[in-house]
């Protein structure tokens, strides 16, 4: 196992630890989650950098690099579904499950299309919309993690009204950002299938 592949697989560990932290009541767990997510993002850059620099680009790395990124994104979005907030007099998930199902379904379908293409000797490179999708997924997660860090680790001693007002805004912003990401995710997936519809015939 070479260094780039170790860095790639480390994101699976990061994803698990972040999920545990996000759903725990440990002090500063949300802030630690944010820091770990940033570190995981750095490993995403470093694995490619070292693979090229050391001239050890492998098929395993090409396969696992995007897959570990998808696992990371999906794991965090699932964690957001589990987190409950008071909103308009009732407890609701930070992000509705249907949004996460849409995002995860797209990832499974596109991964399946790429595997089908590989079996036919075709390599599907990441398209412009796919890259946009990834960027906005990461941006949305960072925004939500920043808000959660502030809410739980820096606003925890505030009065009840301040926390309630913040939670109201947090739910609205998180859901709005997630819906935007879901739309971009669906659009990019649709374009993938349109561009490679010959593979499904």
Sign of CA dihedral 52, 53, 58, 60: negative
Give residue 64's pLDDT: 80
Q: pTM of the prediction?
A: 0.88
Cβ neighbours of 188 (radius 10 Å): 21
Instruction: Give the separation between CA 53 and CA 34, rounded to whole angstroms.
Output: 29
On the CB side of 6, how many CA atoms lie within 13 Å of its CA? Answer: 4
Closest to 11 in 3D by CA, of 81, 86, 70: 70
Please identify which residue in the block is written with the tokens 């409950």: 84
Give residue 56's pLDDT: 80
Give residue 201's pLDDT: 65
Give residue 123's pLDDT: 62
144, burial (CB in 10 Å: exposed 0-12, middle 13-18, buried 19+): buried
The pLDDT tens digits along the chain (201 residues) read 788 888 889 999 999 999 999 999 898 999 999 999 999 999 988 888 888 888 887 777 777 888 888 899 999 999 999 999 988 889 999 999 999 999 999 888 888 887 777 777 666 656 677 778 888 999 999 999 999 999 999 998 889 899 999 999 999 999 999 999 999 999 988 888 888 777 666
Give residue 107's pLDDT: 86
The domain spans of the chain are 3-200
Closest to 94 in 3D by CA, of 146, 37, 138, 148: 148
CATH superfamily of 3-200: CDP-alcohol phosphotransferase transmembrane (TM) domain (1.20.120.1760)
């Amino acid at each position: 196992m070479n260094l780039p592949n170790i860095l790639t697989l480390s994101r699976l560990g990061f994803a698990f630890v972040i999920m545990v932290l996000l759903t725990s009541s440990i002090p500063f767990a949300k802030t630690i989650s944010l820091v770990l997510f940033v570190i995981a993002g750095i490993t995403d850059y470093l694995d490619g950098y070292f693979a090229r620099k050391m001239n050890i680009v492998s098929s395993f790395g090409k396969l696992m690099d995007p897959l570990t990124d998808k696992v990371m994104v999906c794991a965090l979005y699932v964690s957001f579904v589990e987190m409950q907030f008071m909103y308009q007099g009732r407890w609701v998930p930070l992000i509705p499950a249907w949004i996460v199902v849409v995002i995860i379904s797209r990832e499974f379908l596109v991964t399946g299309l790429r595997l089908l293409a590989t079996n036919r000797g075709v390599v599907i490179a990441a398209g412009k919309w796919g890259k946009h999708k990834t960027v906005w997924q990461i941006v949305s997660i960072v925004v939500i993690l920043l808000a959660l860090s502030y809410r739980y680790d820096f606003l925890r001693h505030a009065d009840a009204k301040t926390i309630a007002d913040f939670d109201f805004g947090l739910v609205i912003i998180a859901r709005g950002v997630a819906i935007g990401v879901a739309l971009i995710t669906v659009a990019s997936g649709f374009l993938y299938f349109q561009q490679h519809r010959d593979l499904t015939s």
